[in-house]
């Protein structure tokens, strides 16, 4: 259960608790060796903590959201163990990442390992998997955290990022998704971790892996790109979106994003959506054209280091958060900017 309160009150109300040391049973293939770390300043060390970071991988490479989850787990102190499905003894369906098969296997390993915290990135993978894990453990999930106050107290945003709340969990096992842009991703230095086969309960389910079709792109991945160029409904059509946004993105070496309005209008694929119901990005440069600045969109990009906006409406809300604003017709300004960058 959660109780929202002032941070000072939470600190004052919290009592040190004792807990037996968790079991040393390891989990299925371990990428990071358990590592005892002192709790950082402001994080409680009243009991022995043990965190399990659930790692998302594709073709043997960890994604940024997973690395951010490891960083968050290390901030808690205590031991940190990495968990990833796949390899000898693990079913192919789990290796493909089906949450219906992955969740019971993960729960069994959590119980065997005696972990106090389970963390993964707040990605599509994490948002699909951890609610199932929390339900099987009969605990409350804590979603999309941006900060850690103590072993049981965490910070997250509400109201589309317009307010910050501090939540406290009394569950014995904390199940948490971590915002990838809120914690610095550490370097993935493989090769030194012990690989230990964990438990596979062979749970039955009605889901079967059929196939997967991946979109290939030479551009940076949207969630982790250093530069992002986004288009909105002001582009008026898919043809104009494709004519104006990709050349500008390529000139900057940027990923392509879109507002929900542009996605709903069919201008761009859903995978490019930035915002509260899309992806959270925090690039060095976020350049948008034809985006008015709805609160749902701002929630997904307002942590960008530099925000530049092109819009013909001088009163558009996007200019309230933009570091650089250009009032003008995007159908003139975007091609002009693209040519200058190429030149």
- Number of neighbours of residue 86 by Cβ within 10 angstroms: 16
Q: Name the residue among 65, 39, 280 with its Cα closest to residue 148.
A: 39
Q: Is 273 annotated as a binding residue?
A: yes
Q: Is 181 annotated as a binding residue?
A: no
Q: Is 233 annotated as a binding residue?
A: yes
Contacts of 237 (CB under 8 A, 6+ apart): 267
Contacts of 250 (CB under 8 A, 6+ apart): 219
Contact between 116 and 22 (Cβ < 8 Å): yes
Q: Is 224 annotated as a binding residue?
A: no
Q: Is 318 annotated as a binding residue?
A: no
Q: Is 63 annotated as a binding residue?
A: no
DSSP per residue, 175-199: EEEE-TTTSPPPP---SSSPP----
Q: Is 184 annotated as a binding residue?
A: no
3-class SS at 308?
Answer: strand
Helices (H), 37-173: 64-76, 92-95, 99-113, 124-137
d(CA 302, CA 321): 7
Q: Is 255 annotated as a binding residue?
A: no
Q: Is 292 annotated as a binding residue?
A: yes
| Residue at token pair 């650089």 | 324
Q: Exposed, middle or buried: residue 221 (CB in 10 Å: 0-12, 13-18, 19+)?
A: exposed
What torsion do the CA atoms of 208, 104, 181, 48 make, to the nearest 10 degrees? -160
Q: Is 276 annotated as a binding residue?
A: yes
Backbone angles phi, psi at 147, to 5 degrees: -160, 160
Q: Is 274 annotated as a binding residue?
A: yes
CA 271 to chain centre: 14
Q: Is 293 annotated as a binding residue?
A: yes
Q: Is 126 annotated as a binding residue?
A: no
**Binding-site residue positions for FAD:** 233, 259-260, 273-277, 290-297, 311
Which residues fall in the annotated binding site? 233, 259-260, 273-277, 290-297, 311
């Amino acid at each position: 259960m959660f109780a929202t309160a002032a941070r000072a009150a939470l600190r004052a109300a919290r009592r040190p608790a004792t807990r037996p040391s968790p079991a040393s049973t390891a989990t299925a293939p371990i990428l990071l060796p358990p590592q005892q770390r002192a709790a950082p300043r402001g994080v409680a060390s009243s009991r022995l903590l043990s965190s399990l970071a659930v790692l998302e991988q594709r073709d043997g490479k960890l994604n940024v959201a997973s690395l951010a989850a490891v960083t968050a787990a290390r901030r808690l102190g205590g031991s940190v163990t990495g968990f990833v499905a796949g390899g000898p003894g693990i079913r192919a369906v789990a290796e493909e990442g089906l949450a219906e098969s992955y969740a019971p296997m993960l729960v069994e390993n959590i119980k065997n390992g005696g972990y106090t915290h389970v963390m993964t990135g707040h990605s599509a993978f994490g948002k699909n998997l951890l609610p199932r894990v929390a339900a099987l453990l009969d605990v409350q999930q804590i979603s999309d955290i941006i900060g850690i106050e103590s072993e049981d107290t965490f910070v997250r945003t509400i109201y589309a990022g317009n307010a910050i709340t501090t939540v406290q969990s009394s569950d014995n096992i904390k199940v948490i998704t971590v915002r990838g842009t809120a914690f610095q991703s550490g370097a993935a230095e493989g090769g030194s971790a012990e690989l230990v086969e964990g438990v596979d309960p062979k749970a039955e389910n009605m889901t079967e892996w059929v196939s997967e079709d991946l979109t290939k792109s030479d551009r940076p991945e949207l969630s982790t790109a250093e530069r992002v160029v986004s288009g909105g409904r002001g582009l008026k059509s898919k043809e104009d979106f494709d004519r104006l946004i990709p050349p500008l993105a390529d000139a900057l070496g940027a990923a392509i994003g879109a507002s929900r309005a542009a996605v709903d209008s069919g201008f761009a694929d859903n995978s490019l959506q930035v915002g509260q119901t899309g992806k959270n990005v925090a690039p060095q440069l976020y350049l948008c054209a034809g985006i008015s600045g709805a609160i749902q969109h701002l929630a997904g990009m307002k942590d960008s280091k530099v925000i530049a906006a092109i819009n013909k409406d001088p009163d558009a809300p996007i200019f309230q958060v933009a570091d650089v604003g250009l009032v003008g017709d995007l159908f003139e300004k975007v091609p002009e900017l693209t040519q200058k960058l190429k030149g």
